[in-house]
Amino acid sequence: MLDKRKLSPKGCLILLYLGAFGVVPAAMGQTYVFFDLPNTYYTYPLSVNSNGAVTGFATFGGTRLAFIRDPAGTITTFSAGSGFTVPVSINDSGIITGTVGRHGFLRSPGGTIIVFDPTGSVNTLPRRINAAGSVVGYYFDAQNNAHGFVINPPTGGLVALDINASGALVGFYGDPSGTHGFLRDPGGNFISIDVPGAISTQAISINDAGAITGWYQQVQGVRFIGFVRDPAGNITSFSPELHTKPLSINSEGAITGSTGGTLLGDGFVRSPSGTIVVFDAPGCLATHGISINDQGVIAGWCDVGFRGRAFLRYP
């Protein structure tokens, strides 16, 4: 108990100040747990989730080492790619976001890394990830203008469909705004692909040059339209008949797939220059081009009436 007779006027003023703002001296008995990464100079935790998992980074020499410390105290270090990895936020599911070099990243609880940048970004700076997996932050464009961003997590699952010789992946994913194609380049950068005006875009095949083909819809359930995206990101649409679903692109840029009415009754081949030839295998009711090799040979199947037959089409 305080002995008021021993309080100086200055001490009385401090107590009055603390009481006025609801601040009281800390009670004894709080527990502190100290931790450091071995052989490092400084350890900086930047986020702790409701389960007690902590993420941050440590420094040693001229470098930084990202880490996650689980509730039991086990520390795991990780890198999201080239450049310094700085985790800034961890949600209750254990998903981490942060920066790697001048890019944003997401790290799953199992350790899978996705590097991402909003369109037009030259420096991406995520700040927080919530329980649903949405990430907010900001980025700078080439003119050094700052923009805010929010990235929603896939809700319909992420589906990878093709990989080229360089290790670039394509596929599609869903979020509250619809279905989007994606490209994950060999460096791990994640790029969403949306055909302008589409409510659903699916990237299906990528060749070794980085050209991508797939299809999109502008109205749910109505008409599938084919597209090809060149390595620079320019998109060209094509649809020789009502529905068009490209399935394969070869190293020359030739594309095959299916086109036609509701039943997608014909095969097609689109040349690198854009010329489209619709074809039907002899004796077949419906023809589907599935894969095209660098020599232009198409493998597919056709319906001959309650029976499917494989075929090879030579140019």
The structural domains of the chain, ordered by start, are: 36-153 (2.130.10.10)
pLDDT tens digits, residue range 3-39? 444 444 444 433 333 344 445 555 567 788 888 888 8
Sequence letter at residue 17: Y
Question: Residue 10: what pLDDT?
Answer: 42
Question: Residue 263: what pLDDT?
Answer: 58
d(CA 132, CA 60): 34
d(CA 139, CA 57): 21
Question: Residue 155: what pLDDT?
Answer: 59
Tokens of 169: 């992946």
Name the burial class of residue 312, with classes exposed (0-12), middle (13-18) and buried (19+) by CB atoms within 10 angstroms of its CB.
exposed
Q: Mean pLDDT for the chain?
A: 85
Q: What is the DSSP letter of 4?
A: G
Which DSSP string corresponds to 93-119?
A: T--EEEEETTEEEEE-TT--EEEE--T
Tokens of 260: 């036609």
Kindly report the backbone phi and psi dihedral angles of residue 295, in degrees, each rounded to the nearest multiple of 5, phi listed first: -90, 0
Give the length of the chain. 315
Question: Residue 65: what pLDDT?
Answer: 92
